[in-house]
Amino acid sequence: MNQNIQNIRISTSHTVTHMIYRELLKEYMDKFEEAKRPDIVYVTDLVACTHKFHLRHLFPELTMRFEPAAILGDLVHMGLESYLEKHGYEVEVPFEKKYKIHGREYTLKGRLDAYNKNEGIIVEIKTGRSSQNLPREHHIYQLQIYLSLLEAEKGILVYITPEKIIEYEFKRDKSINVSSLLKMLVEDTVHPKWSWECRYCPFQKICPYSLKGE
């Protein structure tokens, strides 16, 4: 090591980390009250374990994450969305739609990563540690729900991993029945939806349906 470098005093800091934490905490707190409402459903709820939806209303605090992988994913989203915005896409596009299940009204909410309304194209951005076994089935499912709700004709899944950037294009599957998916969620009939879900679920230790060893 260079002698001059050896003489430099190095100390640790949490300046930037604390800035990121405060920003994420603000976002979480803004959504906290909404997350407790049983009449609010997110599109991501429709592609996951139905019991997770019900546990979130009881224990919303357990959903908060402060993980480097999640932060990295957010930063990648922000970067790619800024490029897409320059090419005619709207980014972070919110939408909602009302449904009635068993006489009760539910609001289904979602947020598109990028949307070109003129061309009818929805883009979803995903990050991961590996480019194996892509595209993920639940990501396809989520994209198809978006296509159905907005009646868009084409969707693109973009994966960014340390190994590569790869994208997949899909046409809208008109057989998707959002009302049926919402009914299954409300009735809590599928738990888990995917064999790997329990490993990553924040409610794993309090869930009666948790698959041990999966």
Which H, E and C letters describe the chain, residue by residue?
CCHHHHCCCCCCCCHHHHHHHHHHHHHHHHHHHHHCCCCEEEHHHHHCCHHHHHHHHHCHHHHCCCCHHHHHHHHHHHHHHHHHHHCCCEEEEEEEEEEEECCEEEEEEEEEEEEECCCCEEEEEEECCCCCCCCCHHHHHHHHHHHHHHCCCEEEEEEECCCCEEEEEEECCCCCCHHHHHHHHHHCCCCCCCCCHHHHCCCHHHCCCCCCCC
Q: In this model, does residue 5 exceed pLDDT 80?
A: no
What pLDDT shows up at residue 154? 97
pLDDT digits (tens, 9 = 90+) for 90-101: 999 999 999 999
pLDDT band of 24, cuts 50, 70, 90: confident
Q: In this model, does residue 1 exceed pLDDT 60?
A: no
Spatial CA neighbour of 114 closest among 135, 96, 93, 97: 93
Q: In this model, does residue 212 exceed pLDDT 60?
A: yes
What pLDDT shows up at residue 35? 83
pLDDT digits (tens, 9 = 90+) for 113-124: 999 999 999 999
pLDDT digits (tens, 9 = 90+) for 163-179: 999 999 999 999 999 99
pLDDT digits (tens, 9 = 90+) for 66-107: 889 888 899 999 999 999 999 999 999 999 999 999 999 999
pLDDT band of 197, cuts 50, 70, 90: very high
Average pLDDT over residues 32-59: 93
Residues facing 98 on adjacent strands: 107
Determine if the pTM surpasses 0.85.
yes
pLDDT digits (tens, 9 = 90+) for 150-162: 999 999 999 999 9
What pLDDT shows up at residue 89? 97
What pLDDT shows up at residue 135? 96
What pLDDT shows up at residue 65? 84
What pLDDT shows up at residue 2? 56
pLDDT band of 27, cuts 50, 70, 90: confident
Q: Dihedral (C-alpha) 185, 190, 196, 200: value to the nearest 10 degrees?
A: 40
State the average pLDDT for the chain: 92
CA 129, CA 15: separation in Å to the nearest integer? 27
pLDDT band of 3, cuts 50, 70, 90: low
